[in-house]
Amino acid sequence: MSSLLSSALPLSVPRLLASAVLVPTSLLVLRGLYHLYFSPLSSIPGPWYAAVSEIWILVHTLRCRKVRAIDELYQIYGPVVRIAPTTIAFLDKDHEQQTTRLVYNALKLDKGPLYDAVHMNGHLHSVAIIEHSVHAKYRRIFSSHYSPGNIALLHPDMKASAELLVQKVSEAKDRPLDIFPGIHLVMIDLILKSTFGHDQGALKAWSEHSHDIIMSAIEDYGRLILIQGIVPDWLFGIVRRFPNKRWQTFCSSGDTLFNTMADFVREQQKEKDAGRMDERDKPTLIQRFFAHNDTCAPADRLSFEDMTSESMTHLLAGVDASAVAVSYILWRFANQPESVKQKIQAELDDAMPDAGSIPDWKTLHNLPILDALFKEGLRLHGPIPTFLERLAPKSGPLDLLGYQLPPGTVIGTQSWSMHRNDGIFKNPEEFDVFRWLDSDQPQDAMLQAWAPYGLGTRVCIGQHLARGAIKTCLAALLRNFDVLPHPETNEETMEMMELFGMFPVGLSCKLNFRSRS
């Protein structure tokens, strides 16, 4: 018997190895053939390689050009295209955006699996809640904090930050200045003040050689989310152990932010327990969390970890999105013809006779040219141009522009393509502030297709805060300075790099700020 086994063993090893390769390969081939020819989605146009595997879309995600790749498919295949075996992208050509409204509003669909990648240390937070019904309940806890009325109450803090920013830019004494970190620090201060009543003083400490730990962690975490959304957990658990100091700092960026927020929540809890949390005319976000816990059923209470994760979410969402938008708008403004600059600044001169005194929010909100500048900046450089996943309803097939999609199909559109729809926006790649003031252009259709903060019932809850902060910073800077281009900031350095949001590939925005006084 032993001699028989020993003679068979050399033959069995190569056979076993061959089986180990052939069996999974055969299964992959059969899976690909099913998705290509027999799936309910097989009639939907798109490249064959996208229909058989997720690899194509993962490659473009890693290259930070997923939205561009999807947009190119629209140009080839039309408004409905298959971008992965079970994922369908659509672009609503209807001027009233009826299909977009159906998917993101009327049907109240759950989010897609992409959002699982943005869990904060495994704890609950609103962005990553997949189920629509759960999110709606959770969102009500803090929705009043971001209402237009409350933003007006927060506007004095915005003005104070913008006035300090003007002072910091003035200290550069007409030297070229990278405004990118400065705007980030403005938003860090503003959001921590709004969330905890905490004066971080990040902008006050800003200099050319300063380093802010929170800002660095925010920048790292945006990239970390991208990697974690693609790399399997088991593999990332291995590679994160690579013994490089910078790599370890990068991988621990989520922990850094979570622990920072946790310290703030603990401090606020101590204040509450000691009865020292004063009643304010503008309650902080953490006070709203505490108020919710004081009045809700025990099962609905927010834990310490929930409050920490949610606070971290609001910091992440608010800082990068607004700072990037302001930087892009200033860069675009710097490169506008002098006649365009003069019109924008003339409106601000009238609204701000005293350059050092920013008007109230109602006045700023009603400046038509400033509003047009804001809209055009976010049309081309919106903070959320990415593919917004939803799941087709469990109740039955969904009719999407004539195609029947089975339950569980991932569907979505993207504002990147909506904002570049030449059927709605004339010369869509051109930065044209005054398209928003031209009665000959389809204003209603343009507004319907303008979605820089997402779509429907899951639209970014902080959009009013972002609008207020962006407009206030722009008004302060453009009233006080002539913003001029700098050769180090150009089309190459400002090319948009897609992570979870959009960033300039150079992660900087150096411009010349010449005092107008």
Classify the C-alpha dihedral 264-270-276-279 as positive or negative: positive
Which residues lie across from 498 on neighbouring strands?
502
Burial class (CB within 10 angstroms; exposed 0-12, middle 13-18, buried 19+) of 512: middle
Both tokens of residue 260? 């920072």
Q: What is the residue whose two structure tokens read 């050009």? A: 65
DSSP label at residue 109: P
Helix axes 304-334, 213-228, angle to 10 degrees: 100
Tokens of 129: 């809640």
Kindly give, in sequence order, each residue whose CB lies less than 8 Å from that of residue 75, ignoring residues fewer than 6 positions away.
none
Q: Strand 410-414 relative to strand 87-90: parallel, antiparallel, unpaired?
A: parallel
Please tell me the distance from the alpha carbon of residue 355 to that of residue 2, in angstroms, as a whole number: 96
Tokens read off for 14: 């190569």
State how far the Cα of 513 lies from the Cα of 482, in Å rounded to an integer.
6
Tell me the CA distances in angstroms from 2 to 9, 14, 16, one per residue in order.
11, 20, 20
CB atoms within 10 A of CB 354: 8
Residue 30 tokens read as: 């059969």
Q: What does the DSSP 8-state code read for residue 120?
A: B
Contacts of 29 (CB under 8 A, 6+ apart): none
Q: Are 443 and 88 in contact (CB under 8 A)?
A: no
Number of H helices and E strands in the chain, helices first, is: 20, 11
Angle at alpha carbon of residue 481, lines to 477 and 485, rounded to 5°: 100
Tell me the Ramachandran region of residue 351: left when phi exceeds 0, alpha when psi lies from -120 to 50, beta otherwise.
alpha
Q: Give the end-to-end CA distance of the chain in Å, rounded to a whole number.
A: 100
Alpha helices in 140-284 (DSSP H): 148-170, 179-196, 213-228, 233-239, 245-251, 253-273
User: Which residues contact residue 102 at a Cβ distance below 8 angstroms, ignoring those fewer than 6 apart?
Assistant: none
Distance, C-alpha 93 to centroid of its chain: 24
Residue 220: strand pairing partners: none
Name the E strands within 248-391: 387-391
Q: Is 460 annotated as belonging to a binding site? A: yes
Sequence ranges of the binding site for heme: 460
Sequence ranges of the binding site: 460
